[in-house]
Structure 1
Amino acid sequence: MKRQKTILSLTFVLVLLLQACNLPSNAPDQTPTPDALLAAQMTITALAGQSTPTQALPTFTMPPPLTPTTAFTPTPAFTSTPSFAYVTLSEGTNCRTGPAISFDLVDTFATGQTIEVVGKHPFDNYWYVRSPKNASVYCWLWGFYATGANLGNVPVLTPPPTYTPVPAPSFDAIYVNAGSCLGWWTRISIKNTGTVPLRSITISIKDTVTNETRTETKDGFQDVNACVLSALTPSLGAGETFTVVAPSLAADPTGHKLSATVTLCTATGQGGICTSKTIEFTP
């Protein structure tokens, strides 16, 4: 813009000089000499040729394109799933030596426990499992509260035979009488109040005054009659009653408080299931 104004000003001067040449003749001759015109023209040309530096425009650098940031998605926690056959319990459940409540209790598993399955019942809702508390322990688990996985290849197992618990024996014992015959004997009446036969007996009798104690064990049952021992009765069936003789004491127990402990068993040699009872009496 400044350059253009300068050129216009010089051009205006040149025009004035040229007009001066046309003034009336009576005016003093002011016609510019050729040298003056040439000088003016050269000045305009020189000014026109001068290069006025143009102020450099600021350089704008484009920023790099924005790359959208991918939203962070948290990785779900890894939960391992057992590859073996197993069941998970919705309620606490007992585990037994066999597939019925009549079998002995082995363990009780809590709600939510995962239990390895190694076998199944042929037709009933029972699983043969390994205890998560002890890897060497196995038992039968009722499947009512169990939800399983990977059970397709679980083998069918033959369960143990149905367990029938043997009823505990029971009996009543009552003092009958006492007598003397090569010692002082005492007779006690035994009644089998249970449902299983009784086959052996132990009687331990004590004189609480003299502290004398005598003990005797027999297979079968035997009484005394007129100082003669009866034949052995091998067993005492359910509901049967038999009077037995206790081992003889050396001293007369008359008027003394005696204590007799009787133990009866379902097998000979004090085997099977045994039960005991103690009675006190004064002959």
Structure 2
Amino acid sequence: MTSHFKYIFTMLIVFSLALTACNLPVAASPTASPPTVSPPVLATLTISPLPATATFTPVVTIGPTFTVEPSLTPTQAIPMAEVQKESNCRKGPAENYERVATYAVGQKLEVVANDLGAGFLYVRNPDKPEETCWILAANLAVSGEVASLPQFTPPPSPLPAPAFSAVYKKIYQCKTDMFFMFIIENTGGANFRSAYIKATDVKSGKSTEQALNAFDLRSECVIAKNITPLTPGSTGYLYTLPFKSDMRGRTLKIIIMVCTEQNLKGVCATQVLEIKPK
């Protein structure tokens, strides 16, 4: 009996201890530190240059393909000239060539070529393309580049060059008017049919001028001998218009021009003299 009681008592004690153990607080697990994350190690990328011989040509196709036309060099405009003074246009760059046409002020001409230094331009009449000739450049207003134009060699002159000599003869007086008389000798190979004479007082600048279609000899206020044309080797006469004052002892500049056609047309030649009448 006693043994049985001990056994029961012992089991109660064990059971009590077991219940006590279940109610005891559970010890907290130690808190784990967050793991340390090291920053990623970046790899170094080394790009070696391609060899010099390698060529990389990217081809990108976007939308339709357009063909770019090459630009065209603009054609140089033809130089044009406008006549500023009525001018003869001839078959060569000199006044002893045959006349092709006479152009009035305002006439438009195409400039085709330069001469070899005589001061003429080779032109074409746009209204008559077959009409080409040489014209004095000083009588034109040119627009456009002419320096690059070709230089044409003119044909041989078919006409003899005009030439003359002029000599002051004397004072010729008609009533109260006083003229200055000049002797003209044709020393060339062409006839002269007109003339121009201008006398200018160098000190005052006053002048007289006139044009004539003859080389007449005057005597006592009338024509004593009619001379027209003035043929090669022959002699004619020119007279200035009178001044309103006495010009004796004064220096005068005289311009004389003679031409192969009437009204100062055709081939002309000019001389300048200086006289001091007494």
Instruction: Give the TM-score category using the shorter length.
Output: 0.3 to 0.5
TM-score by length of 1: 0.41
TM-score (norm 2): 0.42
